[in-house]
Amino acid sequence: MTNSNSIPQNPINKLLLEAKNISHNFDYPLFENINLSLSENETIAIIGASGCGKSTLLNIFCSLLKPLSGEIYFKEKNIFEISQSEMLKLRRDDFGIIFQAHYLFRGFSANENLHIAELLSENNVSEDLMKALDISHVLTQGIGELSGGQQQRLSIARVLTKSPKIIFADEPTGNLDQNTASEVMKVMFEYVSKQNAGMILVTHDEKIAYSCDKVYKLINQQLERVK
Ligand SMILES: Nc1ncnc2c1ncn2[C@@H]1O[C@H](COP(=O)(O)OP(=O)(O)OP(=O)(O)O)[C@@H](O)[C@H]1O
Ligand SMILES: [Mg+2]
């Protein structure tokens, strides 16, 4: 048989997220007709000059901002056309969003913040994860008593505890020194390969960017593949 139906599908690289013809602008056009696909077990970095629209693009990919035009598909569904409850479920169960300004619950301890993630996901926080992120010793402290980098690592722990299918990370190592940054990235890369997940990472750190499978530069309103 030579028809296309007989060609075996590659079971390893199942498509996770597909962006089609994404355009957006605020006061001026940021990007036009952007296309991107993310598969299982794949990591993608997006680099580009400050202000070129990387965070805006990531916000669109992860459902937080509706683009002016274009579609995002997750599990063959256009995420901007699903119901409000499906959208909430998607954000709670499938998408793990790590931002530079991390959304921890202030007024609660580090431990309590993790416990909330455990309750929402019905997963337990792993001791190994705490150790790998070097936050085991600060769990009883309040959020306000943690350094910026500790808060960042805590929010990464919280997101990974949910076991999302896709991690969207905007400068996740922005507050960290080089050694801590590479430890944190190691944890995130290991998570992706163990869970067969995917990751889209925005970063100014070229070394970290190039440790991803693919690298795109946002320039002249387009995503240019540079690795
Ligand atoms: N909500 C908004 N309303 C109006 N303009 C916005 C909004 N969010 C971002 N912008 C503008 O869009 C442009 C792109 O911003 P964005 O945050 O996406 O850039 P970036 O590439 O992530 O930059 P950086 O590397 O500095 O984080 C900027 O000029 C910014 O001022
Ligand atoms: Mg940004």
Quick one: tokens of 8? 């075996």
Angle, alpha carbons 78-81-84 (nearest 5°): 120
Average pLDDT over residues 187-197: 96
pLDDT value at position 10?
52
Decide: 55 in ligand 1 pocket, CB within 6 A: yes
CA of 53 to the centre of ligand 2 (A): 7
Count CA atoms within 13 Å of residue 65 on its CB side.
17
Nearest to residue 100, comparing CAs of 182, 202, 188?
202
Percent of the chain exceeding pLDDT 90 equals 82
What's the CA gap between 131 and 147, in Å, rounded?
A: 17
pLDDT value at position 121?
87
User: Mutation test of ligand 1: which of 27, 55, 219 has the most ligand atoms closer than 8 Å to its C-beta?
Assistant: 55
Q: Does pLDDT of 11 surpass 60?
A: no
Residue type (1 letter), 116: I
CA of 16 to the centre of ligand 2 (A): 23
The model's confidence at residue 190, banded by pLDDT at 50, 70 and 90, is very high
What's the CA gap between 176 and 180, in Å, rounded?
A: 6
CA of 195 to the centre of ligand 1 (A): 32
199: three-class secondary structure by DSSP: strand
The model's confidence at residue 6, banded by pLDDT at 50, 70 and 90, is low
CA of 53 to the centre of ligand 1 (A): 5
Higher pLDDT, 12 or 158: 158
* Domain annotation for the chain: domains and CATH numbers: 14-225 (3.40.50.300)
Neighbours of 16 (CB within 10 A): 22
pLDDT value at position 22?
98
Torsion of CA 28, 38, 18, 204, to 10 degrees: -10
Decide: 56 in ligand 1 pocket, CB within 6 A: yes
Higher pLDDT, 2 or 222: 222
- Ligand 1 atom with minimal separation from the 58 CA: 18
129: three-class secondary structure by DSSP: helix
CA of 102 to the centre of ligand 2 (A): 13
How confident is the prediction for the chain on average, in pLDDT?
Answer: 92
133: three-class secondary structure by DSSP: coil
- pLDDT tens-digit map of 56-77: 999 999 999 999 999 999 988 9
Nearest to residue 79, comparing CAs of 70, 37, 169?
70
161: three-class secondary structure by DSSP: helix
- pLDDT tens-digit map of 81-110: 999 999 999 999 999 999 876 778 888 999
User: Mutation test of ligand 1: which of 26, 201, 206, 221 has the most ligand atoms closer than 8 Å to its C-beta?
Assistant: 26
Q: Does pLDDT of 3 surpass 60?
A: no
pTM: 0.92
pLDDT value at position 8?
53
Residue with the nearest Cα to atom 7 of ligand 1? Answer: 26
pLDDT value at position 2?
43
Angle, alpha carbons 16-130-154 (nearest 5°): 70
Residue with the nearest Cα to atom 2 of ligand 1? Answer: 26
Decide: 54 in ligand 1 pocket, CB within 6 A: yes
Decide: 50 in ligand 1 pocket, CB within 6 A: yes
Decide: 156 in ligand 1 pocket, CB within 6 A: no
Neighbours of 105 (CB within 10 A): 11
Residue with the nearest Cα to atom 27 of ligand 1? Answer: 50
Q: At what angle are helices 148-161 and 178-195 packed, to 10 degrees?
A: 0
What's the CA gap between 18 and 122, in Å, rounded?
A: 28
- pLDDT tens-digit map of 118-177: 998 889 999 999 999 999 999 999 999 999 889 999 999 999 999 999 999 999 998 899
Percent of the chain exceeding pLDDT 70 equals 94
